[in-house]
Structure 1
């Protein structure tokens, strides 16, 4: 199910804008940076940065402020959540574009850094993201970086539940505190999001010709795990009407599980905390086209 016609599962409304901004600040607090620390953008003349599927544009706005000498460009299939142009930094431009479309000629080998975050959803129907990844690589200058941020969907909730009353991680949460895990599985199955493909992103980076590839993973610490949990709760609440429109029984089960999630948090003080993952790779200075051959995945863990 390609969402090229902007068949977005979550409506672009004020609550969604608020949730996305909240999510951005959670990620920003976790990493204390918008650009992953492994990426070196110093001593680059005519620095050019792009964010695709920018949503509310907050990452691009902050990066434009952090790199005032850079040209920053943001794009999305819809510009409905982006602030008015007078409110944007002078070195930031926006345009409407879907990464399922052909790459504009002026964007080929144009960027020192290309950023994309949380785009599993548009690949519904278990689509393979590698053709889109090839487009991203084609947009990088030789020596340019690709930073792709996702949750570690493949290991969602596995051994990553915290208790407010106990600093230790709860053992076997998939058995004892599994309402969040069950909802996640319902969502994955209903929308057919390709979690297996996204688990292998670092491997795909290498196959596409990128070097210095690493999957930097981090579990939210106790200081922010409740914030991540509350965002997850809000996301599920927004998805409920969509789930019910696709399968009424699935939607009703999700509502029951959401109430259990609330009880787990308010009564038991237990919160699930999804692992975050920054996959980073660099285009060789002697540029070459990537293929889909098998390759080794180099993973760097910060958990």
Structure 2
């Protein structure tokens, strides 16, 4: 029997990408409800299913902006603009269509989709090879022997698939160092600063030499004076940034492996796909 292959979809990453790729499209239902992002979402989704041929599929979602990270740091993601007006009604509709394909929708108040993805990845990697479909480089910290991260690139069916080797070749780091990098450099898209004045190049050099933030802190006296001073004056933010960057892999979510089996009931899916005028996509189900 072939080994199980689990595809874990970062729902928001796909939906936002689809919205901006399809924003020129005027797809709407009769009542005026926009469906352009949903249409694009399932194009991306079926592309990935056809390419990676999973036996199991699950979709993870953010559940509102308040999470344990915003409790730790009030400016966390505070720079994010509101979702486009046209996209808002599509948030719940897309989940209905995902559910019609008998794919579990997973999300938990207080946690980000990343945390749910991390938890499910680690749990299911004992049962098969896991592939995480996302556009978010933070997910690279999850890579291990049995977890691959598929970063969506520009255009359809264009992926960078990270395993341990490719991560080392492409980024020059090990998975745990993704977190250490963010501790040092911060993350502009999530709006936390790291250590003021330390960029990617310096962070990479420090990590290749001392492996981790703890290693760097144990060897502060060996560092060039200017770098030592930067780190010392921003110690609190260094530790906080590392905490914000770390994906929580112990989220209390319920999801059994069998629920995630990829078996489309075309009859029930067709009804909903017709209702949302998405039937042309069903031919993509191999």
Does TM, scored on the shorter chain, surpass 0.5?
no
Which structure carries more strand by proportion? 1
Structure-2-length-normalised TM-score: 0.28
Which structure carries more helix by proportion? 2
